[in-house]
A and B are shown apart, each in its own frame.
Chain A
């Protein structure tokens, strides 16, 4: 199929060689010129093909790599991914391009740390039809917020019940740990409604004014909230 592209100028040039002979004399000179252009066009065609391939493939891959989330720079901690360098001056070029395209203002290292999760502790993707318990402790921070969002734009007309909890308002047990239930149905305690009826969801934990932003390597599974699947509606 793709061989037809460079093959076609070659075949046409062979046809062009035969064509000028029966033409009248007045057209002979232009015919020969056309024939020469056709013969050379197998090289020119390949050059155009290479340039087009390079341009289209290069731009498309650059667009794909800088669309949506950050391609690199994440540090995996259990189900969570920490993004310590997203707002730093020495962020990688892809992160800078993603920020520039989205108009994002990432948290600087001295300000806080963003952790995101798109899967639960078992590695299964978070789904809006399922319910999850997000609980445990958080790394030391002056304040934190735990928010949930669906992918893409918000559904219009859906009442905004609650998008997240802050460290001040979350209900805690006596030992200071907390447990938030992310579910489509109303739950007792800290209920975080699913942001949409179906489809993948993402959870974000933002730590503000935290010492761990400078040393993400010190984070381990125990220090971040666990995400446990409780069950699915369907």
Chain B
């Protein structure tokens, strides 16, 4: 009987150690395997030229539409996402500043890697280009020295991710404007001028 007891204690200890390993592995695997995270959910918008509205603020009697998946959204902030896949080419996000404050944040699976607000805009325009390291080097090499580009170039840690557009409506009367301002942002895939996109990858 004592032998069984001792064995039972050993088995329990082994079980607890296993539980620790399983716990750590599961927590680390959740972001990788999740199908409900923002990057996976936003995939459907990949070939749109404008952000997919994921939270449009309520205007008048119209409540927020059911496409909102954010758990506790800010009721005064309109949110849209553009999904990108850098394998297709660099992602260009262009926003024109308006009366409402706007912010752009680039998220990959690990979290946000860059954020900028409309206060950084040059002459009312904010151009954010998200690229891979190879595409960045290529863009630098192609730059015209006499006419430097005004793009904000960001190297992404991953090929896939989302750009989140947030527009704050300070007053209820600004809410339709905030929803429209999210839609007015354009997200396009930059096509390389000469079809040499494959070259840096082969290097």
Which A residues have a C-beta under 8 Å from some C-beta of B?
Answer: 3, 6-7, 10, 42-43, 46-47, 49-59, 61-63, 65-66, 87-91, 93-94, 96-97, 99-112, 142-143, 145, 147, 149, 160, 163-164, 166-169, 204, 206, 208-209
Contact = CB atoms under 8 A, between A and B. Distances in A.
Interface residues of B, number: 65
- Which secondary structure dominates chain B's binding surface? mixed
B79 interface: yes
9 contacts: A47-B11, A58-B23, A58-B25, A89-B157, A103-B41, A105-B107, A106-B111, A160-B63, A164-B74
B119 to A, nearest CB: 7
B45 interface: no
Contacts of B15: 49-54, 57
Interface in B36-82: 36-38, 41, 54, 58, 63, 69-72, 74-77, 79, 81
B19 A208 contact: no
Given A105-B70, A208-B103, A57 B170 contact: no
Contacts of B134: none
Nearest to A51: B18
Contact of B18 (A54, A62, A167): A54
A7 B22 CA distance: 26
B4 A108 contact: no
Given A101-B34, A103-B71, A164-B74, A50 B18 contact: yes
